[in-house]
Amino acid sequence: MDKRAGQEIFIVKASGERERFSEAKLRLSLEKSSAPPKVVEDIVNHILGELREGMTTSEIYRHAFSLLKNYHPPLAARYNLKRAIMELGPEGYLFERFVGELLKSKGFKVEMGRPVEGFCVTHEVDVAGEKNDYHIMVECKFHNSPGSKSDVKVALYVQARFEDIERKWRAQPGHGQKFHEAWLVTNTKLTSDAIRYGTCIGMKVIGWNYPNEESLQNLIEKSGLHPLTCLTTLNNSQKRQLLNQGAILCKDLVGKTELLKSVGVSQQNISKVAREIDELCQKPTLSF
């Protein structure tokens, strides 16, 4: 339990719920950005000095983000990852493409928006993946507002689609591709019932922070496939124009000087964008 000046401080989450301020949570989120220990300590102390009863988590986030950006932009970009994913909205199509890219990085061949015949109706599968003759159907649940959660109704919906497709395949073997597993991938938290149901039924569920080793956040960090919306060296208009032109990942911008110029990035800023991408997105598993 964290206290300031001997008193508990309650803050307001995006959902409107009140919770005790946790210095440990703040510290962990900063550490995940790869900020050096001294920087983490300085920012935590700064936030503690500004903390007040009823402060929102968004205010705390914006303050920490600003301090990180002043210190080193790529750290702020990593800290901004969850919100950067939300900025792929408002529709869910770009998130589906992003999930497809993550699956490719894990060795899957993917097909987007594939219509698949079920026993009762035809279903459009967000992402169909195949690896070593193992086929998965992936339902992507996108939220573009902080505080949202994917509940058990979403998991039930995914399972119903999977079972309808499976029933058709059993009734008419070989009519189309058999799926071996259903996945639910969301950019927010999963409710405990959604996790419990997925585990019980054999569905792979991936949320922002679940499961620990293969959460969406960890998959992004391990793959180095950061969305271009992370970048602090581009403004919102430039990001949206780039998304509209088909770019989605930071690595999609590598060497694309003319593309960056076409959305209004100056030559001087292009070099800044390149440096941020190089530090933020290059990982041993990627080759630019």
Asked which of 186, 207, 223 is the last residue of a domain, the reply is 223
Give the pLDDT mean for 164-189. Answer: 90
Is the residue at 109 inside a domain?
yes
For 121-156, the DSSP string reads: SEEEEEEEEEETTEEEEEEEE---STT-EE-HHHHH
Q: Which two tokens stand for residue 176?
A: 């189309």
Please indicate, yes or no, whether residues 124 and 191 belong to a single structural domain of this protein.
Answer: yes
Please indicate, yes or no, whether residues 60 and 157 belong to a single structural domain of this protein.
Answer: no
Q: What share of the chain is helix, strand, coil (3-state, %, to 5)?
A: 50, 20, 35
Mean confidence (pLDDT) of the chain: 92
60/64 Cα distance (integer angstroms): 6
pLDDT of residue 284: 36
Instruction: Give me the CATH number covering residue 156.
Output: 3.40.1350.10
Q: How many domains does the chain have?
A: 3
pLDDT of residue 288: 22
Please indicate, yes or no, whether residues 219 and 230 belong to a single structural domain of this protein.
Answer: no
Buried b (16+ CB within 10 A) or exposed e, 19-52: eebebeebbebbeebbbeeebbeebbeebeeebe
Q: Is the pLDDT of residue 286 over 50?
A: no
Is the residue at 87 inside a domain?
no
pLDDT of residue 172: 87
- Alpha helices by DSSP H, 224-263: 236-244, 257-262
Please indicate, yes or no, whether residues 100 and 120 belong to a single structural domain of this protein.
Answer: yes
pLDDT digits (tens, 9 = 90+) for 113-159: 999 999 999 999 999 999 999 999 999 999 988 889 999 999 999 99
Instruction: Give me the CATH number covering residue 250.
Output: 1.10.150
Q: Which domain range does residue 274 map to?
A: 226-281
Please give the single-letter amino acid code of residue 259: L
Please indicate, yes or no, whether residues 108 and 216 belong to a single structural domain of this protein.
Answer: yes
